[in-house]
C-alpha cells in the first residue's frame, strides 16, 4: 500500500487505540466486580496473552507480509476463494461503526452537559431520567452522532501519517494521563481501599462459568480482533520485522487500560458508596453521582467524558480506516471520495440506530431493536467466525505458515501453532455457540 507509518511506535499506538474503546471502561469493571475481582482479572489476562495475542499476531503477519487491506490480503495469501473472510471483516466493521458512532455521539453530548453543569446531580434516579430522555430524543443524539462521525472522517481523510498517526500520538498519551489523574483522585478518598481490594483481591469462589466465558469474550473483543482492522493497520508497515514485539505491546497496552479503568472506577465508587452498573449505566448514570459529590467535581466530570470521547474516537478511526482502505481498493477511488461516501453511509445508518432508543424502539427483529441486531450479528456471529478462520488458516495452511517471520522459531512457533490449531478455534467456537444459543 502506498501509505506507511513513519515509525513502528505509530503503528503500535494506532493498533492499541483501535483496541481501547469505551467498552473497556464500562464493561470490564462491572464484569470484574461480579466475578471475584482479581480472579476475573487473572483469567482475562491469561486469555488475552494466549488466544488474543495469537489471533492479533496472525492478523499482523497477514497485513505486514502482503501489504494489502483485509480483503486483498486474503486473496494474495490464500487465493480468490478466501476473500469472503476479508469481506466478513469489512462488513462487520461497517455494522459496528454504524452503532458505535451513535454511542460515540453520546460521549459528545455528555461532555457538553458536564461542561455546562447539567450533570452536577447527586440523585442517581434523576440522572437515569436524563440519560433515558437524551438517548430517546429524536434530534440531539442524531446531531451528536453526525458530529462524531464527522470528527472521525476528518482524521481519516488526512491520511495515515498526518491523520491517523498524528491523532493517536496525541490522544493515546492524553488518555493515559487522564486515567492516571482520575485514579489519583479516587484512591486519595476515604473508603477507597475497599474498592481496591474488591478489584485486585482474587476471590475464585465468585468466579462463575459465565464469568470465565465473559473473560474469554472480553479478551477477544477488547483487542479489536476478528474484524481485520489489524491486517489493514499492519499493511502500512514497511516490513514484518518486529511484528511479534509490536503485537505483544498492543496486548500490553490494551490490558493496561482495562486495569487502569478498574483502578479508576472501583476505588471511586467504593469511596462514594456506589455500585458499578452494567454497560452505559456506569458511565452515564453512576459516575456523575460520584463527581457531583467532590470539590471541583464538575471539572473532573468533564475530564472523564473527554476520556470517553478519546477512547471512542481512537476505535472509530480504526473502523473507518479499515472500511475506507477496502473501498479505495475495490472501486479505485481516492481516499477523499471513499472516506466521504463511507461516512455518509454511516451517518445515514446511524439515524435509525439512534431512533431505535426512541421513536423506532418498536421496530424489532426477533425481539431485538436495530441497535441490538447489529450488536448481536457482529459480536456473536461474524467476529467469532473471522477469528476461527484466522486460527485455522495459520494453524493448518502451508501458504500461511510460509509468511511467519523467520525469527519466530522453536518453542514460540510450536506454541503459536498449538493455539492456532486447537486452543483458539475451540475457545472462540465456544463464544460462537454460546452467542447463538444464549
> pLDDT tens, 263-303?
988 888 888 887 776 666 778 888 888 888 888 888 999 99
Count the helix, strand and coil residues of the chain and give each as a percent rounded to the nearest 5. Answer: 80, 0, 20
Q: What is the DSSP letter of 278?
A: S
Mean pLDDT across 399-412: 88
The model's confidence at residue 331, banded by pLDDT at 50, 70 and 90, is very high
Per DSSP, the residues of 32-97 read HHHTTBHHHHHHHHHHIIIIIHHHHHHHHHHHHHHTS-HHHHHHHHH-GGGHHHHHHHHHHHHHHH
Is 353 or 198 the better-scoring residue by pLDDT? 353
Contacts of 271 (CB under 8 A, 6+ apart): 186, 189, 190, 191, 192, 195, 290
Mean pLDDT across 414-423: 95
The model's confidence at residue 112, banded by pLDDT at 50, 70 and 90, is very high
How many Å apart are CA 216 and CA 149, to the nearest integer?
Answer: 30
Tens-place pLDDT, residues 184-243: 998 998 888 888 888 888 888 888 888 898 888 888 888 889 999 999 999 999 887 889
Return the pLDDT at 2. 66
Mean pLDDT across 170-191: 90
Mean pLDDT across 375-396: 94
Q: Rounded to whole angstroms, what are the CA distances from 270 to 107, 137, 180, 278? A: 24, 32, 17, 16
Asked whether residue 161 carries a pLDDT value surpassing 90, the answer given is no
Return the pLDDT at 278. 60
Q: Give the alpha-carbon dihedral of 326, 331, 337, 343, to 10 degrees.
A: -50
Tens-place pLDDT, residues 245-263: 999 999 999 999 889 988 9
As given in the structure block, the three cell numbers for residue 361 are 424502539
Amino acid at each position: 500500500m502506498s501509505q506507511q507509518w513513519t515509525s513502528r511506535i505509530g503503528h503500535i499506538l494506532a493498533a492499541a487505540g483501535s483496541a481501547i474503546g469505551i467498552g473497556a471502561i464500562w464493561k470490564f469493571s462491572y464484569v470484574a466486580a461480579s466475578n471475584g475481582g482479581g480472579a476475573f482479572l487473572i483469567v482475562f489476562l491469561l486469555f488475552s496473552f494466549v488466544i488474543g495475542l495469537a489471533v492479533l499476531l496472525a492478523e499482523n503477519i497477514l497485513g505486514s507480509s502482503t501489504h494489502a487491506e483485509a480483503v486483498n490480503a486474503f486473496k494474495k495469501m490464500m487465493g480468490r476463494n478466501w476473500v469472503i473472510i476479508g469481506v466478513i471483516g469489512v462488513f462487520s466493521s461497517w455494522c459496528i461503526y454504524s452503532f458505535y458512532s451513535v454511542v460515540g455521539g453520546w460521549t459528545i453530548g455528555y461532555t457538553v452537559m458536564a461542561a455546562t453543569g447539567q450533570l452536577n446531580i447527586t440523585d442517581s434516579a434523576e440522572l437515569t431520567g436524563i440519560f433515558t430522555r437524551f438517548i430517546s430524543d429524536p434530534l440531539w443524539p442524531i446531531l451528536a452522532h453526525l458530529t462524531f462521525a464527522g470528527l472521525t472522517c476528518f482524521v481519516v481523510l488526512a491520511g495515515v501519517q498526518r491523520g491517523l498517526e498524528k491523532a493517536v500520538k496525541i490522544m493515546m498519551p492524553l488518555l493515559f494521563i487522564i486515567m492516571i489523574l482520575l485514579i489519583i483522585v479516587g484512591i486519595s478518598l476515604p473508603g477507597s481501599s475497599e474498592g481496591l481490594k474488591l478489584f485486585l483481591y482474587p476471590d475464585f469462589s465468585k468466579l462463575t462459568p459465565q464469568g470465565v466465558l465473559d473473560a474469554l469474550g472480553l479478551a477477544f473483543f477488547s483487542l479489536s480482533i476478528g474484524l481485520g482492522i489489524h491486517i489493514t493497520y499492519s499493511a502500512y508497515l514497511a516490513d514484518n520485522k518486529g511484528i511479534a514485539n509490536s503485537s505483544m505491546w498492543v496486548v500490553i497496552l490494551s490490558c493496561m487500560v482495562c486495569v487502569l479503568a478498574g483502578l479508576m472506577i472501583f476505588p471511586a465508587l467504593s469511596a462514594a458508596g456506589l455500585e458499578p452498573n452494567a454497560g452505559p449505566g456506569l458511565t452515564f448514570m453512576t459516575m456523575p453521582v460520584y463527581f457531583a459529590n467532590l470539590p471541583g467535581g464538575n471539572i473532573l466530570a468533564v475530564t472523564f467524558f473527554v476520556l470517553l470521547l478519546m477512547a471512542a474516537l481512537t476505535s472509530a478511526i480504526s473502523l473507518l480506516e479499515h472500511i475506507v482502505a477496502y473501498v479505495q481498493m475495490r472501486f479505485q477511488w481516492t481516499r477523499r471520495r471513499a472516506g466521504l461516501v463511507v461516512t455518509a453511509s454511516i451517518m445515514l445508518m446511524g439515524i435509525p440506530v439512534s431512533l431505535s432508543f426512541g421513536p423506532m424502539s418498536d421496530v424489532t427483529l426477533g425481539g431485538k431493536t436495530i441497535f441490538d441486531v447489529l450488536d448481536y450479528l457482529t459480536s456473536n456471529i461474524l467476529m467469532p467466525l473471522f477469528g476461527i478462520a484466522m486460527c485455522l488458516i495459520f494453524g493448518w495452511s502451508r501458504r500461511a505458515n510460509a509468511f511467519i517471520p523467520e525469527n519466530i522459531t522453536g518453542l514460540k512457533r510450536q506454541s503459536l501453532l498449538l493455539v492456532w490449531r486447537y486452543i483458539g478455534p475451540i475457545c472462540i467456537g465456544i463464544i460462537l455457540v454460546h452467542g447463538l444459543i444464549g
